Amino acid sequence: MSYKPPYVITPIIVSLVAKISEKLGQLSVLKTQENNLYLRRINRIRTIQGSLAIEGNTLTEMQITAVLDGKAVIAPPREVQEVRNAIKAYEKLTKWRPTSQQDLLAAHQTLMQGLIDDVGQYRNTGVGVMKGKKVIHMAPSAECVNGLMFDLFDWLACSDEHPLILSSIFHYEFAFIHPFADGNGRMGRLWQTLILSQWQDIFSYLPVESLIYAHQDDYYLALQQSTKQANSAPFIEFILQMILDSCNEDTPQVTPQ
């Protein structure tokens, strides 16, 4: 492994990892509760709604539930397609390998099918990270994408960093590279979920995305700060805080009555 992303492990990061680890122990009761499948379903719907809402999708949790149940929904066709794709992608989560670029491309194809032409392939044009109509980050040129993604996946496969930190660094680096013509935000969040769910299954249905959506401005600010500092620590701290908040939010729902 030759490439190492620029980051610093701050005391805040260390503290957040410890707090999340403690919470995960409390949440393990989910595995033995009768309402396990119900909770997974509700949280999966929240995850999809949050991740797509960040990208401008207007469907509510109730509408997404209807789509999941195969019912007709009165909504823009593109947004319904986004939801259908996201449902398929999260259902396939356990079949993909976090360190496989081939699986990443397959996931992008699932997530963006029928929405863009260049599904399942890296971009060949320049792109930027948008917040509304404002460009907050110009991604590296298309010619650099293959090399940058090779280095990132090589690092991911070889690093012995804690999964909470590892997945957050990957998420930031992925957002910085912005390897696809479209769908980068939802792909970055999906892949962090995949990395974490391989470590602890609970992450496959912990609705972190819904909290990221509720703190969109902070999400983009953390991206900007990390890029400006050439250090992903601000983004790692933000994402870990969202994970901790998601754990705290879920705990009352799953404690035995």
**Own/partner long-range contacts of 42-45 (Cβ < 8 Å, ≥24 apart):** 43/205, 43/206, 43/207, 43/250, 44/90, 44/205, 44/207
Residues 72-131: pLDDT tens digits? 999 999 999 999 999 999 999 999 999 999 999 999 999 999 999 999 999 999 987 777
Give the model's confidence band at 5: pLDDT under 50 very low, under 70 low, under 90 confident, else very high: very high
pLDDT tops 80 at residue 32: no
Q: Does domain 11-254 have CATH number 3.90.1150.10?
A: no
Give the model's confidence band at 7: pLDDT under 50 very low, under 70 low, under 90 confident, else very high: very high
| CA 146 – CA 182 distance, rounded (Å) | 16
Crossing angle (nearest 10°) for helices 61-68 and 77-91 = 70
Please tell me the pTM assigned to this model: 0.90
Crossing angle (nearest 10°) for helices 233-254 and 216-229 = 150
| Per-residue pLDDT, 85 | 96
Q: Where are the domains of the chain?
A: 11-254
